[in-house]
Amino acid sequence: MPETASPAKVDATKGYGAKVILHGKIFDETLEMAKRIAEKEGSIFVHPFDDPKVIAGQGTVGLEMMESAPELETIVVPVGGGGLISGVAVAARAIKPKIRIVGVQSQAFPSMYMAFKTARIVPFKAEETIADGIAVKQPGKLDYKLVRKFVDDIVLVSDADIAEAIFVMLERMKTVAEPAGAAGVGACLAGGVKAAPGACGVIVSGGNIDMYTLDQIVSKGLERENRMLRVKVTLSDKPGALRDTLDVIASARANVIDVEHDRVGKDIPIGRTVVTFTLETQNKEHTESLVRALSKARLKYRLVN
Tell me what the mean pLDDT of segment 78-92 comes to. 97
In the chain, the percentage of residues whose pLDDT exceeds 90 is: 83
- How would you classify the pairing of strands 100-106 and 199-202? unpaired
Average pLDDT on 288-297 reads 94
CA atoms within 13 Å, Cβ hemisphere of 209: 27
Give the integer Cα–Cα distance in Å for 174 and 167: 10
d(CA 298, CA 296): 5
On whether the 226-304 domain is CATH 3.30.70.260, my answer is yes
Phi, psi of 286 (to 5 degrees): -65, -40
Neighbour tally for 69: CB within 10 Å: 12
Q: Residue 216: pLDDT band by 50, 70, 90 thresholds? A: very high
**pLDDT score for 106:** 96
Residue 89 has pLDDT above 90, yes or no: yes
Q: What pLDDT, on the 0 to 100 scale, is given for residue 125?
A: 82
Nearest to 9 by CA among 139, 186, 130, 183: 130
Q: Which of 43-57, 98-112, 165-179, 263-277 has the lowest mean pLDDT?
A: 263-277
In which element (H, E) is residue 268 found? Answer: none
* pLDDT, mean of residues 124-130: 87
Span 288-292, average pLDDT: 94
The angle, 0 to 180 degrees and rounded to 10, between the axes of the packed helices 141-150 and 52-68 is 30
Residue 170, CB-side half-sphere exposure with 13 Å CA sphere: 22
Domain 52-220 has CATH 3.40.50.1100: yes
169-213 confidence digits (pLDDT tens): 999 999 999 999 999 999 999 999 987 788 999 999 999 898 899
Long-range Cβ pairs for the range 113-116 (8 Å, 24+)? 113/79, 113/154, 113/155, 113/156, 115/139, 115/144, 115/147, 116/147, 116/148, 116/151, 116/153, 116/154
The model's pLDDT over 16-62, given as tens digits with 9 standing for 90+, comes to 999 999 999 888 899 999 999 999 999 999 999 999 999 999 999 99
* pLDDT tens, residue by residue, 163-175: 999 999 999 999 9
| The pLDDT of residue 123 | 81
- pLDDT at residue 118 tops 90: yes
Q: What is the domain partition of the chain in residue ranges?
A: 7-41, 52-220, 226-304
pTM of the model: 0.86
Over range 98-113, report the average pLDDT: 96
- At residue 9, the pLDDT reads 86
Q: What is the pLDDT of residue 196?
A: 77
Q: What is the mean pLDDT of the chain?
A: 93
- Contacts of residue 12, defined as CB under 8 A and 6 or more positions apart, other chains included, come to 208
Residue 115: band (very low, low, confident or very high) from pLDDT cuts 50, 70, 90: very high
Percent of the chain, pLDDT > 70?
Answer: 100
Asked whether the beta carbons of 179 and 130 are under 8 A apart, the reply is yes
Distance CA 296, CA 290 (A): 10
